[in-house]
Amino acid sequence: MITDRGRNLADISVTNPILLVFLRHFGCQFCRHAMDELSKKRPQFKISGTELIFVHMAENKVAEEYFTRFNLEGAEHISDVSCRLYMDFGLMKGSFGQLFGLQTWIQGFSLQKKYSNDFGKHLGDSFQMPGVFMIFEAEIKESFIYKVVSDRPDYEKLVSCCIL
């Protein structure tokens, strides 16, 4: 797995823990919320030595525009248009209930006003489920696999397993 900067994930993880965040699509309100939340936590991750790296399904230039919009300029990332890496990490396509269940609708409505400025631009597979992995020393140490797209990972808890 090579990032947009040409760095190998396994090599990075030998010296620094990696919070690897698999996004759904950039039109997803929950992914936008995650990017917004991660941008606020980014300084504390940096202090702990944790590298924040995203996996997405868009072209790199498009992804960088979204990262900039959510105060994640310069974020390291991997484009996976074919979703091969999603499958390799066990992230499946969502069922109807995971994508459109009552909990998702309720939480989606609460985020709609804040994150829906270009609703409908999916820029990826809208059925793909997201996930978050803590990788250190080339091993997955912790993970958060979404049960529904509106789930919210505890990023601090994930990172705490590998604080140097």
Of 117 and 156, the one with more pLDDT = 156
Of 21, 30, 31, the residue nearest 135 (C-alpha): 21
Of 3, 147, 135, the residue nearest 75 (C-alpha): 3
The model's pTM: 0.87
Residue 47's domain is classified under what CATH number?
3.40.30.10
Let me know if residue 89 belongs to a domain: yes
Let me know if residue 134 belongs to a domain: yes
Let me know if residue 30 belongs to a domain: yes
d(CA 71, CA 120): 22
Helix H or strand E encompassing 76: strand 76-79
Could you give the residue ranges of the DSSP H alpha helices within 49-140? 60-69, 84-88, 96-100, 102-115
State residue 120's pLDDT score. 44
Residue 129 · residue 151 · CB < 8 Å? no
Residue 155 · residue 39 · CB < 8 Å? no
Let me know if residue 96 belongs to a domain: yes
Q: Which domain holds residue 107?
A: 9-160
d(CA 30, CA 164): 30
Q: What are phi and psi of 160, to 5 degrees?
A: -60, -20
Let me know if residue 2 belongs to a domain: no
In whole numbers, what is the pLDDT of the chain averaged over residues? 87
Residue 102 has pLDDT above 80, yes or no: no
pLDDT in tens, 27-63: 888 888 899 999 999 999 999 999 999 999 999 999 9
Let me know if residue 29 belongs to a domain: yes
Let me know if residue 4 belongs to a domain: no
Confidence of residue 124 (pLDDT cuts 50, 70, 90): confident
Q: Report the number of distinct structural domains present in the chain.
A: 1
